[in-house]
Chains A and B, each alone.
Chain A
Amino acid sequence: MTVDQVSAEIDRSAAQADADRARAAVRPRTSMAARRHRAFYLFTSPWIVGFLLLTIVPMAYALWLSFTTFDGVSPHWRYVGLGNYRELFADSQTWDALGRTGLFAVTSVPLSITAGLGLAVLVNRPLRARGLFRVLLYLPAVVPPVGAGLAFKALFDQNSGAANGVLTLFGFDALGWLNDPYARYVLLMTVLWGAGNIMIISLAGLQDVPRELHEAARIDGASAWRSFRSITVPLLSPVLLFQTVTGVIASVQTIMPLLLSPDGTTQGVTAISQSNYMYMMHVFAEYFALGRYGYASALLWVLFVLILGATGLIFKFTSGVVFYNVDPEAKK
């Protein structure tokens, strides 16, 4: 054997040994567990990739734009650092819109959750035709926002609306419901109109409350209200917490003022009554009417951080009163 052949032989056996080692190392991984690991990522990848591309990337892009004067058209945009943020914090319109949004969230969310829970308790009773009541009360929650907006516009129209019809019937003056200062109440009513959604979710929760608990409480002499407060509400608390958080986020993002406005398009966003000119409307106005994409992006990021903060606070302050009696993992 020549030296070359020997060294080639050594190389080969070394390669062979490497391959053996590699195979040995791989073998345990081809077990059931490893297959399940790979399959897990295969199955969850559409969501992971989608989340990165359709949520994280747009958010990052908006963050970058928020430091610029980009308007979508002009090629002469530039980096302005925190300029947009300084401007928006100095803008009284931002603060006013933020205040209205906050007020709307803290009134509409508790009211609609109370209404939804109340309706759930009502239609959870053994009634005749309770299936029909459930369907009819839930129906408005399925009406698309555009339909709801137009229905409420028709209902509260100054001349042809039924609301003013009832008022004049009882000798009161007709009101300009869709203008200030009443527009905010109309908006609130559109939210309460959709309380059937919370009703259905609470109803499912109510039916999971073990019957024996209420019976035991009754034997101990507890009143219906007491047993509702001390048994039903704590057991429903995770559901109520989730409703609160998603409700706050939905109310902050509501586009209903847009649909209730005389014009009803994103271009006509500035025609919205003052009392319904909320934070998201301010974003739309800057974005569509003024084309200030950079500034609107800064507004969006501020709102995002505020929502994160609000969600965190809600979780923090409810941690002591929310009871998770059912572990979702336990179902396996």
Chain B
Amino acid sequence: MTVTSLSTDSTAGPSSTSAPRVRVRANRLVLYTVLVAITGLFTGPFGWLVLTGLKTPAELAASPVHWLPDHFQWHNFADAYQLIDFLGYARNSLIIATLYATLVTLSSAWVGFGFARLDAPGKKTLFGILVGSMMLPQLITLLPTYLIFAKLGMVDTYWPWVLWGLAATPYLVFLFRQFFAGLPRELEEAAIVDGCGYTGVFWRIFLPQSWPVLSAGFVIAFTWTWGDYIAPQLLLSTDRSTLAVAVMSTYVNAAGIPVTNLQAAGSVMYVVPILLVFLVAQRGFVAGMATSGLK
């Protein structure tokens, strides 16, 4: 954007007397103060979680609150890592999230190509159902799904994530459909005239064009699975479960009371990877999220 900040901020018009100029500067000061305050409120809870993970149990029990730890208990992080099979749970999370994200990104691209570039009777109805199913409450299907998977012997395996991945997901299908629909028609026409099938067009022409969407889709799906709590809690036994479940329920002492400082340290270590993934991939991630507004 090339518009100067003055002309868009000022509602007083392009008058050049000094009174509006002072008002503009005051406005900007208020604006920045408000923004910094809100940003503080938004980053605060996570900062407090980090601080909690750096305190001793005695400091956490003290009243009134101990704002800063007397000594930063960095070893809490090492203890949190050792108290439970942190690496094992992290590996499980990584396997499930990578498996699901890879499959669902490819299958959603595949289905999205169909909706963007192909035609058949009933397409409109199917697309309506697809968009509508974005609004289906997922928890409602999860409990009966658990019972069905239990019957099929798929509980305590990673098969459910494979199946969910293969089935594509409306949200990403929509994302890919928007992207593919925007590509020029000439891309596929020449290939089709030369006798290339749509499968070939998809793999050799469209997919290589869609790296930005593919990576955004992968990161979004990975983040969902890394953050998911209920499905692994339902479908996996303790040692096969994910970090999300482990952080919530395994940092307890012999009496079954949560060890707050270690739990906080563990959850910081659980959250930070996903924040890093987001920071690295934020451009594509944000573009993906923005598309979900169904413009």
Contact = CB atoms under 8 A, between A and B. Distances in A.
Interface of A: 32-33, 35-44, 46-51, 53-55, 57-59, 61-62, 65, 72, 119, 122-123, 125-127, 133, 135-140, 142-152, 154-155, 157, 159-162, 164-165, 168, 174, 193, 196-197, 200-205, 208, 223-224, 238-239, 242-243, 245-246, 249, 252-253, 255, 259, 264-266, 280, 283, 287, 293, 296-297, 300, 303-304, 307, 311, 326, 328, 331-332
B58 to A, nearest CB: 10
B286 A266 contact: no
A159 B63 contact: yes
B194 interface: no
Interface residues of B, number: 107
A144 B147 contact: no
Contact of A154 (B49, B134, B282): B49
Given A55-B141, A144-B244, A46 B135 contact: no
Contact of B168 (A46, A65, A307): A46
A50 B167 contact: yes
A36 B119 contact: yes
**Nearest 5 CB-CB pairings of A with B:** A50-B167, A43-B114, A144-B227, A204-B290, A165-B65
Contacts of B267: 146-147, 150-151
A136 B42 contact: yes
Nearest to A304: B140
A126 B1 contact: yes
A61 B67 CA distance: 52
A47 B38 contact: no
Contacts, number: 302
B248 A239 contact: no
Interface of B: 1, 3-5, 8-9, 11, 31-32, 34-35, 38-39, 42-46, 48-49, 52, 55, 59-67, 107, 110-111, 113-116, 118-121, 123, 126, 129-130, 133-141, 143-145, 147-148, 163-164, 166-168, 170, 173, 178, 181-182, 192, 197-199, 202, 223, 226-230, 233-234, 244, 247-249, 258, 260, 263-264, 267, 270-271, 274-275, 278-279, 282, 286, 289-295
Given A44-B115, A61-B147, A204 B226 contact: no
A59 B145 CA distance: 8
Contact of A160 (B39, B60, B110, B275): B60
B66 A326 contact: no
Nearest to B192: A32
A224 to B, nearest CB: 5
A202 B163 CA distance: 33
Contacts of A135: 279, 282
A332 B31 contact: no
B43 A296 contact: no
A126 B9 CA distance: 8
A43 B111 contact: yes
A304 B229 CA distance: 21
A249 B136 CA distance: 8
A252 B65 CA distance: 34
A211 to B, nearest CB: 9
A122 B31 CA distance: 8
B148 A61 contact: yes
A150 B264 contact: yes
Given A160-B65, A223-B11, A287-B143, A200 B295 contact: no
Contacts of B116: 332
A304 B137 contact: yes
Contacts of A208: 295
A297 B64 contact: no
B137 A162 contact: no
B289 A201 contact: yes
Contact of A127 (B35, B38, B43, B140): B35
B219 to A, nearest CB: 10
Contact of B136 (A55, A152, A238): A55
A139 B168 contact: no
Nearest to B145: A58
Q: Determine which residue in B59, B62, B164, B233 has the highest number of CB atoms from chain A within 10 A of its CB, and name it.
A: B233
Given A46-B167, A246-B134, A37 B119 contact: yes
A42 B43 CA distance: 46
B293 A283 contact: no
